[in-house]
Every structure is written in structure tokens, then in C-alpha cells.
Structure 1
Amino acid sequence: MTTDDERVLVGVLDRAFDADSLFATLLNDTQRRARAATTLHQSAIRYANRYGVADSAEANRGLALWLPPGGEHLTFPRMLRTGFGGLALELGGALPGLLRIDSALTAMHKVHAPEKHWYLFFLAVDPAFHGQGIGGELLKQGIARAEAQGVPIYLETQAEENVRFYTRRGFVVKEEREILPGFTNWSLKHG
């Protein structure tokens, strides 16, 4: 992936997750929220490029970031090497809220996917291109990869409308939990 591709795909993530409940829950300041989201998205793309798989489709109109089976999916040293430290700076006083959310998500992940599995870190389609099958095609690639290896897929979503998208493609809701007021998580698994 080129630097230009990365820049375009960060924009896709920024637009796709513009109303995401994570930063809306943690930050009132819309400018800080946007900077934090961009930092998260840049770091996530770098992480998947370096330690996983970054699938993009349709002239960079969508992307799926996957972390492979085996070991921990997100490790602190790897996160620092790919820029996640900047997220802590952007969040400032909201960092304890993020750590509380991360702790709950990590615990749910361990309960619902204790075996080796692919982790769908992000799936996003530029909102201007929703409804064209791009997300479904990206997901199909990941499902085929996991099935070829005989391992399941685990993911989380905080958008209720995404639950139907995933369940129509064979995912099963393992748990729904309100972690903080305004921040509900759905854990889903395939395979």
C-alpha cells in the first residue's frame, strides 16, 4: 500500500466512522474527536499493513483490516510502533474512558473467541458508495481466507445497524453489552 493509498483509506475510515459512538462517548469537542479518529485510523491501517492483512476494494472505496490467528492480536509494543501513542495524546483526559472500554472489549474477546481466529479490526466503505456490495465483497474475501484455514472470525461493532449486515453473512451475535452510557458493543463470530 502506498502513502497515497493510506491517505485515501484513512479518509474512508474517517467518513465511515464519522458518527461512531466511541469518540462521541469520550469527547465533546468535535475537533478533538476528528483528530483522535484520524490518529486511530492511521494507526490501525499501519498496524494491519505490518502485522495483518489490509484488503481494499473498488479504487480504495472500502477496506477491511484483519489481524491473523495466533498470539495476541493487538500488543502494546506493536501499537506503539504503528502510532497508537498519538491517540493517547489526542484523548488527554478521556484516556481513562478508552482504557475502560478497551478492557471490557478485551474481556469479551477472550470469552467469545478463545481459540485461534481472524480478528476483523475494521471494515469500512466510503458512505458515498454504500449499497453497492463493496463491504460484502471485502467480508467475503476474509471469510474465504478463514474458512480455508479452518478458523473462525471474531469482530465487534458498536453500531446496531451493522449487526444485521453481519448476521446476514453468517455471523452470530455472541453478546450485546452496554459498556458505558451511549456505548453498546455487539460481539459477533463466524465459523
Structure 2
Amino acid sequence: MYTYKYQDLALALYEALIPDPFYIELLRDIPGGEQKKQEILMRYMDYSMKEGEEYGRLTITGDPAYGAAIWSQPLNPAADNEKSLLKKDFITTYMGEPALRAYSTIVSFMSKQLDPILYDAWYLSIAGIKPSHQGRGLGVNLLMEMLNETDKNGIPTYLETFTPRNIRFYERVGYKIAKEVSEPVTGCPYWIMIREPLR
């Protein structure tokens, strides 16, 4: 039985990110209909938020909360391996082997597209605002807490997005497209965006 820490936020992230090709692919072979897929992706989002607390940073906005950003910091090889093994164990247990295969294949491909310089950067792995609260500038506030800190410490950050309409939003907070890539499992393009620290 899975125990949530951030159930309401997991629902908000589910609603914000369910159209994303990455998550569609993870859920493709899940039996049981849309309700089952929602439950499984909410668990994934909750786990990812707990993972962010453990290995990076989790920022939350709203009261009650309606948005979250999950940041991963550069890790030493032992910690990075531990994080990866725990994530794969979670996916196997709660999502199944087909989801693990899709996850592993996509993440492996995407990792190979990164410039080695980004291995010292913070990574914005997941960010989302509940759709009913979007369009009010809340996403900027969600990200700036962390970006002000990386600016102060001279640390670059990067992200990947499969959603073209998100590009303009991320450009507003200082990200620039570094590369457009066609991801073979989803059959969709995605964009690597980098934000150099502002002095």
C-alpha cells in the first residue's frame, strides 16, 4: 500500500502534466482505465517530490498548495546510483515492468543528449501548477525562489520540456533553448533549455 506525503499536490501535478508525452508513454501499458492511470501517476509525482526533498530541493506554492517544482542537484556517483536504483525500484513496484522499460529507455536517451557541462548544474525535473490556477504568474514565483539562490551562488540550471507552449514561459525567467531533440520512444520533439546564473 502506497503512503502519500503530498496527495493534493500530486493531483495538481497530475492534472498539469498528464498531456506530456513522457508521462503518456509511462502509462501506455497500464491496465485498468484512466482512473488507475491517474492513481499511478499521482504516486509517481508524490514519490518524485519526496525524492526532490532527499536529493535536491522541492519548492511549493499556494495555500492550500497548488503547484510544485522539483529540483535535482549534482550528486556524487554513489548518491546518484542510489537515487537511480530507488527510483527504478519504485517504478517496478508501483507502475510495472513496461513503465520501467519506457522510463529507462527515455531517460538513458535524454541523458546522452546533455552537454557534459550540465553535470554541474541543477536540474528542474518537474514543475507544474494546477490548471485552474495557471495564467496568473504563479509559475514564475514558484521557480524564482530557487533561481534567486542559484544566481547568488553562480550555478546554472537546465530543464527539458516536451511542451512547446512552455518554452515562452521558461524564456521569461531566463532560460534559453540549447537544443531541440527528437525522442524516439515517444516520437516527439523536446527542448533542452539552459539558464546561466544572472549576476
Bucket of the pairwise TM-score, normalised by the shorter protein: 0.7 to 0.9
Q: Is the 8 A contact 1:24 1:33 kept in 2?
A: no
Match of 1:131 among 135, 152, 155: 135
* Superposition misfits of 4+ residues, deviation over 4 angstroms: none
- Structure 1: gaps (5+ residues): none
d(CA) in 1 for partners of 2:138, 2:9: 14
Match of 1:146 among 118, 141, 150: 150
State the match for 1:13 in structure 2: 13
d(CA) in 2 for partners of 1:34, 1:92: 18
State the one-letter code of the partner of 1:9. L
Residue 75 of structure 1: SS of its match in structure 2? helix
- State whether structure 2 residue 121 is matched by structure 1 residue 121: no
d(CA) in 2 for partners of 1:166, 1:103: 24
Q: How does 1:81-92 map to 2 (within 5 A)?
A: 81=86, 84-89=88-93, 90-92=95-97
Residue 173 of structure 2: SS of its match in structure 1? coil
State the match for 2:106 in structure 1: 101
d(CA) in 2 for partners of 1:70, 1:88: 23
Which 10-residue stretch deviates more, 18-27 or 123-132?
18-27
State the one-letter code of the partner of 1:24. I
RMSD (Å) for aligned C-alpha atoms: 2.5
TM-score by length of 1: 0.84
State the match for 1:24 in structure 2: 24
**How much has 1:185 moved relative to structure 2?**
1.7
**How much has 1:20 moved relative to structure 2?**
1.5
d(CA) in 2 for partners of 1:15, 1:42: 13
Q: Is the 8 A contact 1:22 1:183 kept in 2?
A: no
- Residue 113 and residue 156 in structure 1: after superposition, are their counterparts in 2 closer, same or farther (change >3 A)? farther
The percentage of counterpart residues that share the same residue type is: 22
